[in-house]
Chain A
């Protein structure tokens, strides 16, 4: 954590080397999150870059006391992507937005890189229960609160929390 703290601190001091490292660590994840929302590679490209530009310019608003750096930038990404889906231009061009979850996207990747992670994740998502897929989708990709997820999934608040814990545990077992 110490290394990450230093890196984030340098990033907040406008150190581009630190920025490049953080970009390398998280840009693909952010791209995945926004792509899962907008379902368009070109728009996702643009959004992801906008997210990092915004993070760069608003770096001083981040504080580790408010949460993880990844969580902070993930939040920026989700908000930006959701804002995008609400724009008039986006609605007009994406009338038939398909309802695929992240799992369908991962399973649909024909050319996933041959890394162990990628293979492990693809295997995981196909084996994952429907409830797990939904919980992870809502909490991590869509940014639903625990309460919103509870309502969406029609399950008790505490169940969302423990089910999520179990689902992430399975994921950790597969990819870490």
Chain B
């Protein structure tokens, strides 16, 4: 077969134009598979005609504006658009975090409040104790006042002696129940290793009798001490003695001394 003559006949141009019979089309189809140069010729003819016919068109219409008319948009190519953010998920997470934070805060608040409550409870107990103490103090003071006001009481002022002229004390003696109340607020605190010792005296002859030491002098608040006294005392004295007290008073350590009125 003379390929060149076949091409020159112009049959391939008619083939592209669609003006051949079904049999001729079938023949050419077979020939195109056998002769690549024939196929190349067809491709060039077609390409030229495609360009020529396209040149006649006043404008193009793009595929997207037309495909809607196909009625097959449901099978269109899947767009690789970025996935929309899942706001429900984000909101859920945010809510969870807020809730967790809220719970932690509440827990923290609870612990703090419990601590405050505990502190308040302690304060309350402390205040209750203070009130109790104050009541006790008040009762003691009232009791003391009652004692001092008692018509049977003998008040004995004890004046400062010698170097200790600024010192003073008072003894309230209830002869009915053999008790003395020493108000020693006018005495200084006993130095380390020393205690105050209270003496009952008879004057002729001068005989001291120990009524005991005041061991809790420095820590006592009202400096009033209750001491038993069954003696027929004529005077009272207070000396500073070594811890544990002495048999007889150390006279140069006699701070205060007071004589009982002969006519009570």
Contacts and interface: CB of A to CB of B under 8 A. Distances in A.
Interface of A: 1, 14, 16-17, 20, 23-33, 35-36, 41, 44-45, 48-49, 52-53, 56, 64-68, 70-72, 74-75, 102, 105-106, 109, 112, 117-118, 121-122, 125, 136, 139-141, 143-146, 161-162, 164-165, 168, 171-172, 175-176
Contacts of B44: 172, 176
Contacts of A41: 58-59
Given A41-B59, A45-B61, A53-B69, A139 B22 contact: no
A17 B72 CA distance: 12
B63 A161 contact: no
Given A49-B66, A65-B29, A145-B19, A162 B53 contact: no
Contacts of B51: 29, 117, 121, 175
Contact of B70 (A56, A72, A106, A171): A56
B15 A71 contact: yes
Interface residues of B, number: 47
A102 B206 CA distance: 163
Contact of B14 (A32, A64, A105, A146): A146
B56 A102 contact: yes
Contacts of B58: 35, 41, 44, 105, 109
A75 B19 CA distance: 10
29 contacts: A1-B32, A14-B75, A16-B72, A16-B77, A20-B63, A23-B66, A28-B53, A29-B53, A29-B57, A32-B53, A32-B54, A35-B56, A45-B61, A49-B69, A65-B26, A67-B20, A74-B53, A105-B56, A121-B52, A140-B17, A141-B53, A161-B11, A162-B9, A164-B10, A165-B10, A168-B49, A171-B52, A172-B47, A176-B48
Interface of B: 8-11, 13-20, 22, 25-26, 29, 32, 39, 42-61, 63, 66-67, 69-70, 72, 75-77
